[in-house]
Protein backbone atom coordinates (compact mmCIF):
# COMPACT_ATOMS: atom_id res chain seq x y z
CA UNK A 1 0.00 0.00 0.00
CA UNK A 2 1.45 3.37 -1.00
CA UNK A 3 1.93 6.19 1.49
CA UNK A 4 -1.24 8.15 2.18
CA UNK A 5 -3.61 5.48 0.80
CA UNK A 6 -6.41 4.38 3.18
CA UNK A 7 -7.34 0.78 3.83
CA UNK A 8 -11.15 0.80 3.88
CA UNK A 9 -11.23 -2.50 5.76
CA UNK A 10 -9.04 -1.21 8.57
CA UNK A 11 -11.17 -1.02 11.77
CA UNK A 12 -9.44 2.23 12.67
CA UNK A 13 -10.94 3.74 9.51
CA UNK A 14 -14.37 2.14 9.41
CA UNK A 15 -14.93 2.46 13.18
CA UNK A 16 -12.68 5.24 14.48
CA UNK A 17 -12.46 5.41 18.29
CA UNK A 18 -14.39 8.29 19.80
CA UNK A 19 -12.33 10.60 21.93
CA UNK A 20 -13.32 11.64 25.43
CA UNK A 21 -13.18 15.22 26.71
CA UNK A 22 -9.64 14.67 28.00
CA UNK A 23 -8.55 13.78 24.47
CA UNK A 24 -7.76 10.11 25.13
CA UNK A 25 -9.62 7.53 23.00
CA UNK A 26 -12.39 5.57 24.70
CA UNK A 27 -11.97 1.80 24.96
CA UNK A 28 -13.93 -0.03 22.28
CA UNK A 29 -16.64 -2.40 23.49
CA UNK A 30 -17.92 -5.35 21.53
CA UNK A 31 -21.36 -4.71 20.09
CA UNK A 32 -24.13 -7.12 20.98
CA UNK A 33 -24.81 -9.53 18.12
CA UNK A 34 -28.46 -10.57 18.21
CA UNK A 35 -27.97 -13.51 15.87
CA UNK A 36 -25.26 -15.01 18.08
CA UNK A 37 -27.38 -14.42 21.19
CA UNK A 38 -30.39 -16.20 19.67
CA UNK A 39 -28.23 -19.13 18.57
CA UNK A 40 -26.57 -19.41 21.98
CA UNK A 41 -29.88 -19.36 23.86
CA UNK A 42 -31.39 -21.89 21.42
CA UNK A 43 -28.50 -24.24 22.21
CA UNK A 44 -28.94 -23.63 25.94
CA UNK A 45 -32.66 -24.45 26.08
CA UNK A 46 -32.17 -27.44 23.77
CA UNK A 47 -29.65 -28.90 26.21
CA UNK A 48 -32.24 -28.66 28.98
CA UNK A 49 -34.68 -30.77 26.99
CA UNK A 50 -32.62 -33.16 24.81
CA UNK A 51 -29.84 -35.64 25.44
CA UNK A 52 -26.62 -35.10 23.52
CA UNK A 53 -27.10 -38.30 21.51
CA UNK A 54 -30.19 -40.35 20.79
CA UNK A 55 -28.28 -43.64 20.61
CA UNK A 56 -25.04 -44.85 22.27
CA UNK A 57 -23.88 -46.25 18.92
CA UNK A 58 -24.49 -43.08 16.89
CA UNK A 59 -21.57 -41.43 15.11
CA UNK A 60 -21.38 -38.66 17.77
CA UNK A 61 -20.49 -36.12 15.10
CA UNK A 62 -23.18 -33.62 16.12
CA UNK A 63 -25.25 -33.44 19.29
CA UNK A 64 -29.03 -33.15 19.18
CA UNK A 65 -28.99 -29.69 20.83
CA UNK A 66 -26.55 -28.47 18.17
CA UNK A 67 -28.79 -29.64 15.34
CA UNK A 68 -31.91 -28.20 16.94
CA UNK A 69 -30.17 -24.85 17.43
CA UNK A 70 -29.31 -24.93 13.71
CA UNK A 71 -33.02 -25.42 12.92
CA UNK A 72 -33.93 -22.46 15.15
CA UNK A 73 -31.33 -20.42 13.28
CA UNK A 74 -32.91 -21.50 9.99
CA UNK A 75 -36.37 -20.38 11.13
CA UNK A 76 -35.09 -17.11 12.55
CA UNK A 77 -33.30 -16.10 9.34
CA UNK A 78 -35.99 -17.54 7.01
CA UNK A 79 -33.45 -19.77 5.26
CA UNK A 80 -33.55 -23.07 3.42
CA UNK A 81 -31.62 -26.08 4.71
CA UNK A 82 -28.86 -25.40 2.19
CA UNK A 83 -28.86 -21.71 3.05
CA UNK A 84 -28.41 -22.57 6.74
CA UNK A 85 -25.42 -24.77 5.93
CA UNK A 86 -23.88 -21.99 3.83
CA UNK A 87 -24.37 -19.45 6.63
CA UNK A 88 -22.70 -21.76 9.15
CA UNK A 89 -19.87 -22.46 6.73
CA UNK A 90 -19.25 -18.72 6.27
CA UNK A 91 -19.45 -17.71 9.95
CA UNK A 92 -16.69 -18.70 12.37
CA UNK A 93 -18.58 -17.05 15.24
CA UNK A 94 -21.72 -19.11 14.69
CA UNK A 95 -19.73 -22.33 14.61
CA UNK A 96 -17.92 -21.26 17.78
CA UNK A 97 -21.16 -20.51 19.62
CA UNK A 98 -22.61 -23.86 18.56
CA UNK A 99 -19.39 -25.73 19.30
CA UNK A 100 -19.27 -27.18 15.80
CA UNK A 101 -16.01 -28.62 14.52
CA UNK A 102 -17.59 -29.21 11.12
CA UNK A 103 -20.76 -28.05 9.40
CA UNK A 104 -23.63 -30.56 9.12
CA UNK A 105 -25.00 -31.39 5.69
CA UNK A 106 -28.42 -30.08 4.76
CA UNK A 107 -29.71 -33.66 4.64
CA UNK A 108 -28.56 -34.14 8.25
CA UNK A 109 -30.66 -31.18 9.38
CA UNK A 110 -33.71 -32.32 7.45
CA UNK A 111 -33.49 -35.90 8.68
CA UNK A 112 -33.04 -34.76 12.29
CA UNK A 113 -36.13 -32.57 12.02
CA UNK A 114 -38.18 -35.39 10.52
CA UNK A 115 -37.05 -37.89 13.14
CA UNK A 116 -36.90 -35.87 16.36
CA UNK A 117 -38.71 -32.53 16.15
CA UNK A 118 -42.41 -32.48 17.08
CA UNK A 119 -44.91 -29.81 18.05
CA UNK A 120 -44.87 -31.09 21.65
CA UNK A 121 -41.07 -30.82 21.80
CA UNK A 122 -41.17 -27.25 20.51
CA UNK A 123 -43.74 -26.26 23.12
CA UNK A 124 -41.54 -27.89 25.75
CA UNK A 125 -38.65 -25.71 24.59
CA UNK A 126 -40.88 -22.65 24.94
CA UNK A 127 -41.45 -23.79 28.51
CA UNK A 128 -37.69 -23.98 29.04
CA UNK A 129 -37.35 -20.38 27.84
CA UNK A 130 -39.97 -19.32 30.39
CA UNK A 131 -38.18 -21.32 33.11
CA UNK A 132 -34.88 -19.58 32.30
CA UNK A 133 -36.53 -16.16 32.50
CA UNK A 134 -38.10 -17.05 35.84
CA UNK A 135 -34.81 -18.38 37.23
CA UNK A 136 -32.46 -15.66 36.02
CA UNK A 137 -34.67 -12.74 35.03
CA UNK A 138 -37.31 -12.80 37.75
CA UNK A 139 -40.18 -13.07 35.27
CA UNK A 140 -43.60 -12.74 36.92
CA UNK A 141 -46.69 -13.36 34.79
CA UNK A 142 -49.48 -11.29 36.28
CA UNK A 143 -51.64 -11.10 33.15
CA UNK A 144 -51.93 -13.68 30.38
CA UNK A 145 -53.29 -12.98 26.91
CA UNK A 146 -54.58 -15.80 24.67
CA UNK A 147 -54.90 -15.43 20.92
CA UNK A 148 -54.36 -17.30 17.67
CA UNK A 149 -53.07 -16.53 14.19
CA UNK A 150 -52.74 -18.22 10.83
CA UNK A 151 -49.50 -18.91 8.97
CA UNK A 152 -49.87 -19.31 5.23
CA UNK A 153 -48.82 -22.56 3.57
CA UNK A 154 -48.24 -20.90 0.20
CA UNK A 155 -46.14 -17.92 -0.86
CA UNK A 156 -48.39 -17.13 -3.83
CA UNK A 157 -49.30 -13.45 -4.00
CA UNK A 158 -52.85 -12.18 -3.60
CA UNK A 159 -52.76 -10.99 -7.24
CA UNK A 160 -51.85 -14.49 -8.49
CA UNK A 161 -54.56 -16.12 -6.39
CA UNK A 162 -57.09 -13.60 -7.69
CA UNK A 163 -56.15 -14.10 -11.35
CA UNK A 164 -56.05 -17.87 -11.02
CA UNK A 165 -59.37 -17.80 -9.10
CA UNK A 166 -57.91 -19.87 -6.29
CA UNK A 167 -59.19 -19.69 -2.74
CA UNK A 168 -57.32 -20.39 0.45
CA UNK A 169 -58.38 -23.80 1.69
CA UNK A 170 -56.31 -24.21 4.85
CA UNK A 171 -53.45 -22.74 6.85
CA UNK A 172 -51.44 -23.61 9.93
CA UNK A 173 -53.00 -22.13 13.05
CA UNK A 174 -50.88 -21.11 16.05
CA UNK A 175 -52.69 -20.76 19.37
CA UNK A 176 -50.55 -18.70 21.74
CA UNK A 177 -50.56 -17.72 25.40
CA UNK A 178 -48.45 -14.57 25.89
CA UNK A 179 -47.44 -12.86 29.12
CA UNK A 180 -48.63 -9.27 29.06
CA UNK A 181 -46.21 -6.37 29.57
CA UNK A 182 -43.11 -8.55 29.08
CA UNK A 183 -44.60 -10.04 25.85
CA UNK A 184 -43.07 -13.46 26.53
CA UNK A 185 -44.50 -16.58 24.90
CA UNK A 186 -45.69 -18.97 27.62
CA UNK A 187 -47.18 -21.83 25.59
CA UNK A 188 -48.25 -22.70 22.07
CA UNK A 189 -50.44 -25.21 20.26
CA UNK A 190 -50.43 -25.97 16.54
CA UNK A 191 -53.34 -27.12 14.38
CA UNK A 192 -54.87 -26.61 10.96
CA UNK A 193 -57.30 -23.79 10.21
CA UNK A 194 -59.75 -22.37 9.56
CA UNK A 195 -61.27 -23.54 12.81
CA UNK A 196 -63.03 -22.13 15.84
CA UNK A 197 -60.74 -20.52 18.42
CA UNK A 198 -62.45 -22.59 21.10
CA UNK A 199 -61.29 -25.86 19.55
CA UNK A 200 -58.59 -28.15 20.85
CA UNK A 201 -55.96 -25.45 20.42
CA UNK A 202 -57.48 -23.25 23.14
CA UNK A 203 -57.75 -26.09 25.65
CA UNK A 204 -54.24 -27.28 24.85
CA UNK A 205 -52.56 -23.88 25.14
CA UNK A 206 -54.32 -23.13 28.44
CA UNK A 207 -53.47 -26.54 29.89
CA UNK A 208 -49.79 -26.17 28.97
CA UNK A 209 -49.62 -22.65 30.39
CA UNK A 210 -51.20 -23.78 33.67
CA UNK A 211 -47.96 -25.48 34.78
CA UNK A 212 -45.68 -22.55 33.85
CA UNK A 213 -47.27 -19.48 35.45
CA UNK A 214 -49.97 -18.33 37.85
CA UNK A 215 -51.55 -15.18 36.40
CA UNK A 216 -54.12 -13.04 38.20
CA UNK A 217 -55.87 -12.12 34.93
CA UNK A 218 -56.50 -14.01 31.69
CA UNK A 219 -57.58 -11.88 28.72
CA UNK A 220 -58.89 -12.97 25.32
CA UNK A 221 -61.03 -11.67 22.46
CA UNK A 222 -64.64 -12.60 21.71
CA UNK A 223 -63.55 -15.68 19.75
CA UNK A 224 -62.98 -17.38 23.13
CA UNK A 225 -66.46 -16.62 24.46
CA UNK A 226 -67.46 -19.76 26.35
CA UNK A 227 -68.28 -20.49 29.97
CA UNK A 228 -65.75 -23.33 30.15
CA UNK A 229 -62.95 -20.83 29.38
CA UNK A 230 -63.78 -18.85 32.52
CA UNK A 231 -64.23 -22.03 34.55
CA UNK A 232 -60.78 -23.31 33.54
CA UNK A 233 -59.07 -20.03 34.47
CA UNK A 234 -60.77 -20.00 37.85
CA UNK A 235 -60.04 -23.65 38.64
CA UNK A 236 -56.45 -23.73 37.32
CA UNK A 237 -55.18 -20.38 38.60
CA UNK A 238 -57.98 -18.82 40.66
CA UNK A 239 -57.64 -16.04 38.09
CA UNK A 240 -60.16 -13.49 36.84
CA UNK A 241 -60.84 -13.85 33.14
CA UNK A 242 -62.39 -11.41 30.71
CA UNK A 243 -63.74 -12.25 27.27
CA UNK A 244 -66.20 -9.88 25.54
CA UNK A 245 -69.33 -12.06 25.20
CA UNK A 246 -71.20 -12.47 21.95
CA UNK A 247 -74.96 -11.87 22.46
CA UNK A 248 -77.04 -14.85 21.41
CA UNK A 249 -80.50 -13.47 22.14
CA UNK A 250 -82.79 -11.41 19.93
CA UNK A 251 -82.66 -8.37 22.20
CA UNK A 252 -78.85 -8.39 22.24
CA UNK A 253 -78.41 -9.21 25.92
CA UNK A 254 -76.27 -11.89 27.56
CA UNK A 255 -78.31 -14.07 29.89
CA UNK A 256 -76.51 -17.42 30.10
CA UNK A 257 -73.42 -18.18 32.16
CA UNK A 258 -72.53 -16.16 35.27
CA UNK A 259 -69.04 -15.27 33.98
CA UNK A 260 -70.37 -14.29 30.56
CA UNK A 261 -72.92 -12.03 32.24
CA UNK A 262 -70.17 -10.51 34.39
CA UNK A 263 -68.07 -9.75 31.31
CA UNK A 264 -71.07 -8.14 29.60
CA UNK A 265 -71.67 -5.79 32.51
CA UNK A 266 -68.29 -4.09 32.57
CA UNK A 267 -64.82 -4.13 31.00
CA UNK A 268 -61.82 -4.21 33.36
CA UNK A 269 -59.25 -1.43 33.37
CA UNK A 270 -56.48 -3.68 32.03
CA UNK A 271 -58.29 -5.31 29.12
CA UNK A 272 -56.30 -3.18 26.67
CA UNK A 273 -53.25 -5.30 27.48
CA UNK A 274 -54.83 -8.17 25.57
CA UNK A 275 -53.26 -6.53 22.52
CA UNK A 276 -49.84 -7.59 23.76
CA UNK A 277 -50.57 -10.97 22.18
CA UNK A 278 -51.21 -9.14 18.91
CA UNK A 279 -47.87 -7.38 19.33
CA UNK A 280 -46.13 -10.76 19.70
CA UNK A 281 -47.87 -12.10 16.59
CA UNK A 282 -46.98 -8.99 14.58
CA UNK A 283 -43.33 -9.22 15.60
CA UNK A 284 -43.26 -12.94 14.86
CA UNK A 285 -44.48 -12.49 11.29
CA UNK A 286 -42.28 -9.47 10.59
CA UNK A 287 -39.15 -11.16 11.94
CA UNK A 288 -39.56 -14.81 10.97
CA UNK A 289 -42.01 -14.53 8.07
CA UNK A 290 -45.70 -15.30 7.61
CA UNK A 291 -45.42 -18.10 5.05
CA UNK A 292 -44.23 -21.70 5.22
CA UNK A 293 -42.24 -23.63 2.64
CA UNK A 294 -42.82 -27.18 3.88
CA UNK A 295 -45.37 -29.50 2.29
CA UNK A 296 -46.18 -32.42 4.61
CA UNK A 297 -48.38 -31.90 7.68
CA UNK A 298 -45.65 -32.73 10.19
CA UNK A 299 -43.12 -30.50 8.43
CA UNK A 300 -45.60 -27.60 8.30
CA UNK A 301 -46.26 -27.89 12.03
CA UNK A 302 -42.52 -28.07 12.77
CA UNK A 303 -41.70 -25.03 10.65
CA UNK A 304 -44.45 -22.94 12.22
CA UNK A 305 -43.45 -24.04 15.73
CA UNK A 306 -39.77 -23.30 15.06
CA UNK A 307 -40.68 -19.78 13.94
CA UNK A 308 -42.62 -19.19 17.17
CA UNK A 309 -39.77 -20.64 19.25
CA UNK A 310 -37.13 -18.54 17.44
CA UNK A 311 -39.05 -15.33 18.05
CA UNK A 312 -39.75 -16.32 21.67
CA UNK A 313 -35.99 -16.73 22.17
CA UNK A 314 -35.33 -13.39 20.50
CA UNK A 315 -37.78 -11.65 22.81
CA distance 236 to 201: 17
CA distance 189 to 120: 8
- 8 Å CB contact between 41 and 98: no
**pLDDT score at 56:** 79
In terms of DSSP bridges, do strands 171-179 and 143-151 run parallel, antiparallel, or are they unpaired? antiparallel
Per domain, the residue ranges of the chain are: 34-116, 119-314
Is the pLDDT at 290 greater than 50, yes or no?
A: yes
Secondary structure (DSSP) of 170-188: -EEEEEEEEETTTTEEEEE
pLDDT confidence bin for 204, thresholds 50/70/90: very high
Range scoring the smallest mean pLDDT among 150-159, 203-212, 253-262, 306-315: 150-159
**pLDDT score at 88:** 97
Is the model's pTM score more than 0.85?
Answer: yes
CA distance 304 to 150: 10
Distances (CA, A) of 109 to 33, 52, 74, 165: 24, 15, 10, 37
Read off the pLDDT of residues 222-237 as tens digits, 9 standing for 90 and up.
999 999 999 999 999 9
CA 301 to chain centre: 13
**pLDDT score at 2:** 45
Alpha-carbon Rg for the chain, nearest whole angstrom, is 24
**pLDDT score at 26:** 58
CA distance 38 to 75: 11
Is the pLDDT at 142 greater than 80, yes or no?
A: yes
Read off the pLDDT of residues 163-187 as tens digits, 9 standing for 90 and up.
776 776 789 999 999 999 999 999 9
Q: To the nearest whole percent, how much of the chain has pLDDT over 70?
A: 88
Amino acid sequence: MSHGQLDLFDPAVTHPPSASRSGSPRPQTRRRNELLDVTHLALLVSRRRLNDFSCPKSKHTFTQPQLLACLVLRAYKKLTYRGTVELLDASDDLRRVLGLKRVPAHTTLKEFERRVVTANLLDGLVGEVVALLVEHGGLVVGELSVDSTGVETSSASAHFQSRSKRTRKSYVKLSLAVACTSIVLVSLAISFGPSNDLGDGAREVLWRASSRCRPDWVLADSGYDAEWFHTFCRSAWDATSHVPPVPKTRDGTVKSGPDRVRCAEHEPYNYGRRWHAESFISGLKRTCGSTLTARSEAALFNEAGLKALAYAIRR
